[in-house]
């Protein structure tokens, strides 16, 4: 289909380019070969011999390509030599012309683009591993690709900027990530990227333009209605459009940013847990950042500032705003407002001395860093939260020693990664955000007991015959399996493996924080969090029926028929003498 039409296009370009050189070669060859056959050769027995057509072709072949073996198959007459000179020059020129045209064709940008398109479509088509289509390879896109690569998830990348696609070529991803420089909103490029491919899991649109994102999402919905679409959108207008489509998840970077900011300020234990789950640098579980109470100074009231203000105000946190272009009516009356650049005098006017902290949320990194310096000078005690816009400025933000740096491309990429890799974890976080903080603290205590100071390792277990044969067999046979039993450590029975079940997904319903008596069923999906080596241990239990039986009963059951038979006989005899059950052997 698409690849065939692209291939046709490539074939057509080649033919059109090579038509004249090929005709030139054909003409020169015909003239040269016929002339050579007609030229009288050396006389044998007084009669002039002639080269036959095959020999003439042979001669011309090695002459035109300037190989030049000499006078083969026999010595030439002078007439033949004259013609040979003619053949050499015309033939060689025709060859150079043909080769030059071919080289020109290979360097032709349209041809290169068409070839890239064909190669890309072929690579996507041949891939049968699950993959994700990523439209837009900016800051958030490349961070997401890095995250996917860490989880060994393939991605197909579309971006209209050739520099970004070139940069993609030099990344050291763990899996193949084919990229194409193309406009992702054109349906044929989406088709080439595999939007209808059976292994395609989701499509993520991360371009900076909301219109393009909307267009891609709509196209993808039409091309493959079953495909999950995750769409970046920053405008409320587009969001209402997108919400109307099913299977489309809208991700608003500013909304996520505002939410994270609110958690950091008012729900620090949840912020700490979330950061630990996503593996943020320097985060220790159970050691949330200490944030002072009081009013916050918000520098910058653009789209981002607007969301932050709304979010904080909605949760009862006082906000004072500094922005040169802010409209008094939009903000409302109960808020302190300074219409100026966020410099010394403005910070002074807004009362930085008695504020709990400052949030610099302007869309220029230099402004944010500059404001930080002023805040340091005026109130070194103030808690400093800063928005980082560009990933390139990482080092400067590290050096600025702000209390919390939030980079919206990173937070967006992490949120999307969670949605793609383990949607349950995001559900859990959202659930915890709705609940009382004690739930979060309880979970943190449990995780600390299980994992200690190690980094978080999350994995999903599906209780289906392909992934957990021992457990499904056991459940099919009528056995009951509690979550706490499954997590026992077969190496040191009956201790627990260092892992905690966070959530169970059953028949479209999510059960958050199941306790150890929770009874598992076939087709459950269980999200675990624990130490890295707990996963292979649990895998062994899930696969090996003997290990599973051992962690349930604490008894090593006989494996072969012979010992099973002996055990049965012994058991029966023991049953005759003693009426009680078989005692578990240590």
Partner 1 sequence: MNFERVVFGFFVILTLSLNYAFVAGDAGATANHNVWILTFAIIVNLVAIGLKLGDRSQIGALLLASGLVAGFLLITARVVWIVAESGDGGGPALVEMTDIMSIARGALIANIVATVILVGDTLLSRR
d(CA 567, CA 553): 16
560 binds partner 1 (CB under 8 A): yes
d(CA 275, CA 388): 17
Beta bridge partners of 499: 530
What CA–CA distances, in Å, run from 385 to 100, 126, 281?
A: 61, 47, 16
Nearer Cβ to partner 1 (153/490): 490
Minimum Å gap between C-beta 249 and partner 1 is 40
Nearer Cβ to partner 1 (419/548): 548
Residue written as token pair 């076939």: 522
Which of the stretches 121-129, 134-142, 412-420, 555-563 binds partner 1 when contact is defined by CB under 8 A? Answer: 555-563
State which of residues 16, 171, 516, 559 lies at the interface with partner 1 (CB under 8 A). 559
State which of residues 19, 452, 563, 571 lies at the interface with partner 1 (CB under 8 A). 563
Nearer Cβ to partner 1 (81/559): 559
| 401, 374 contact by CB (below 8 A) | no
Cβ atoms within 10 Å, residue 390: 14
Nearer Cβ to partner 1 (123/549): 549
d(CA 460, CA 421): 9
Task: Provide the 8-state DSSP code for 392.
Answer: G
Minimum Å gap between C-beta 564 and partner 1 is 6
Task: Provide the 8-state DSSP code for 464.
Answer: S
Nearer Cβ to partner 1 (143/548): 548
Nearer Cβ to partner 1 (86/563): 563
Task: Provide the 8-state DSSP code for 449.
Answer: H
Nearer Cβ to partner 1 (279/545): 545
Minimum Å gap between C-beta 493 and partner 1 is 8
Which of the stretches 216-224, 443-451, 485-493, 502-510 binds partner 1 when contact is defined by CB under 8 A? Answer: 485-493
Beta strands in 347-477 (DSSP E): 357-360, 383-388, 404-407, 457-462
| 497, 552 contact by CB (below 8 A) | no
Nearer Cβ to partner 1 (239/473): 473
Nearer Cβ to partner 1 (138/558): 558
State which of residues 562, 572, 577, 580 lies at the interface with partner 1 (CB under 8 A). 562
Minimum Å gap between C-beta 464 and partner 1 is 19
Minimum Å gap between C-beta 469 and partner 1 is 10
Q: Closest by alpha carbon to 319, among 300, 342, 295?
A: 295
Minimum Å gap between C-beta 459 and partner 1 is 21
State which of residues 135, 490, 497, 502 lies at the interface with partner 1 (CB under 8 A). 490
What CA–CA distances, in Å, run from 332 to 311, 322, 355, 475, 517?
A: 14, 14, 20, 60, 51
| 393, 368 contact by CB (below 8 A) | no
Residue written as token pair 């209808």: 196
Question: Per the structure block, which two tokens stand in for 40?
Answer: 């009288």
Residue written as token pair 């090996």: 544
Site string for partner 1, 513-552 (x = CB under 8 A): ------------------------------xxxx------
Minimum Å gap between C-beta 476 and partner 1 is 14
State which of residues 128, 198, 561, 572 lies at the interface with partner 1 (CB under 8 A). 561
Site string for partner 1, 564-583 (x = CB under 8 A): x-------------------
Within 217-236, the residues that bind partner 1 by CB under 8 A are none
Minimum Å gap between C-beta 269 and partner 1 is 36
In 108-138, which ranges are continuous DSSP H helix? 109-126
Which of the stretches 84-92, 288-296, 332-340, 488-496 binds partner 1 when contact is defined by CB under 8 A? Answer: 488-496
Nearer Cβ to partner 1 (417/490): 490
| 523, 506 contact by CB (below 8 A) | yes
Nearer Cβ to partner 1 (13/531): 531
Within 410-449, the residues that bind partner 1 by CB under 8 A are none
Q: Is 560 exposed, middle or buried (0-12, 13-18, 19+ CB in 10 A)?
A: exposed
SS3 at position 342:
coil
Question: Per the structure block, which two tokens stand in for 410?
Answer: 């990173």
| 116, 180 contact by CB (below 8 A) | yes
Minimum Å gap between C-beta 445 and partner 1 is 29
State which of residues 381, 398, 556, 578 lies at the interface with partner 1 (CB under 8 A). 556
Minimum Å gap between C-beta 467 and partner 1 is 15
Beta bridge partners of 462: 525
77 binds partner 1 (CB under 8 A): no
Which of the stretches 57-65, 234-242, 262-270, 560-568 binds partner 1 when contact is defined by CB under 8 A? Answer: 560-568
Total H helices, total E strands in the chain? 24, 18
Residue written as token pair 């209780």: 463
Name residues whose C-beta falls within 8 Å of residue 148's C-beta, 6 or more positions apart in sequence.
Answer: 132, 154, 155, 175, 417, 420, 421
Within 491-510, the residues that bind partner 1 by CB under 8 A are 491, 493
Residues that bind partner 1 (CB under 8 A): 490-491, 493, 543-546, 556, 558-564
């Amino acid at each position: 289909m698409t690849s065939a039409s692209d291939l046709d296009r490539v074939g057509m370009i080649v033919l059109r380019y090579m038509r004249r050189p090929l005709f030139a070669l054909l003409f020169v060859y015909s003239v040269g070969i016929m002339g050579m056959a007609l030229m009288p050769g050396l006389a044998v027995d007084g009669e002039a011999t002639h080269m036959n057509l095959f020999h003439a072709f042979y001669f011309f072949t090695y002459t035109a390509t300037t190989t030049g073996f000499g006078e083969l198959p026999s010595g030439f007459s002078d007439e033949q030599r004259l013609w040979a000179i003619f053949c050499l020059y015309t033939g060689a020129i025709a060859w150079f012309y043909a080769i030059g045209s071919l080289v020109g064709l290979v360097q032709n940008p349209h041809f290169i683009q068409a070839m890239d398109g064909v190669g890309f479509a072929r690579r996507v088509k041949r891939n049968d591993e699950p993959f994700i289509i990523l439209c837009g390879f900016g800051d958030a896109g490349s961070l997401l690709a890095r995250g996917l690569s860490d989880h060994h998830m393939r991605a197909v990348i579309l971006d209209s900027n050739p520099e970004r696609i070139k940069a993609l070529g030099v990344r050291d991803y763990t899996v193949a990530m084919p990229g194409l420089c193309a406009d992702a909103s054109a349906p044929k490029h989406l088709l080439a990227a595999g939007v209808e491919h059976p292994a395609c899991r989701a499509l993520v649109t991360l371009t900076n333009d909301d219109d393009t994102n909307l267009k891609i999402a709509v196209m993808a919905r039409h091309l493959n209605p079953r495909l999950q679409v995750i769409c970046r959108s920053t405008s409320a207008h587009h969001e209402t459009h997108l919400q109307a489509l099913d299977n489309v998840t809208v991700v608003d970077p500013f909304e996520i940013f505002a939410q994270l900011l609110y958690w950091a300020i008012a729900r620090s234990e949840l912020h700490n847990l979330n950061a630990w789950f996503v593996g943020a640098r320097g985060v220790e579980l159970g050691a949330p950042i200490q944030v002072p109470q009081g009013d916050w100074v918000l520098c910058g009231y653009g789209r981002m500032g607007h969301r932050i203000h709304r979010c904080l105000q909605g949760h009862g946190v006082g906000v004072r705003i500094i922005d040169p272009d802010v409209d008094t009516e939009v903000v409302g009356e109960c808020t302190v407002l300074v219409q100026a650049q966020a410099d010394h005098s403005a910070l002074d006017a807004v009362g930085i001395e008695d504020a709990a902290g400052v949030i610099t949320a302007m869309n220029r990194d230099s402004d944010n860093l500059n404001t930080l310096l002023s805040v340091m000078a005026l109130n070194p005690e103030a808690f400093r939260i800063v928005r980082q816009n560009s990933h390139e400025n990482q080092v400067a933000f590290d050096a600025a020693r702000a209390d919390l740096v939030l980079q919206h491309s990173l937070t967006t990429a992490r949120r999307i990664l969670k949605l793609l890799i383990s949607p349950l974890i995001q559900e859990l976080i959202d659930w915890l955000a709705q609940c009382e903080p004690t739930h979060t603290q309880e979970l943190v205590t449990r995780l600390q007991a299980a994992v200690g100071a190690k980094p978080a390792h999350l994995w999903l277990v599906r209780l289906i015959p392909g992934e957990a044969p021992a457990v499904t067999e056991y459940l099919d046979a009528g056995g009951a399996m509690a979550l706490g039993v499954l997590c026992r450590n077969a190496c040191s029975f009956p201790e627990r493996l260092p892992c905690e079940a966070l959530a169970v997904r059953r028949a479209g319903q999510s059960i958050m924080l199941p306790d150890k008596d929770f009874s598992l069923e076939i087709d459950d999906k269980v999200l675990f969090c624990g130490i890295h080596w707990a996963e292979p241990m649990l895998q062994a239990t899930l696969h090996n029926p003997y290990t599973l039986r051992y962690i349930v009963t604490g008894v090593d059951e006989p494996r072969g028929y012979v010992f099973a038979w002996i055990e049965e006989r012994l058991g029966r005899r023991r049953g005759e003498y003693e009426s009680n059950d078989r005692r578990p052997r240590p």
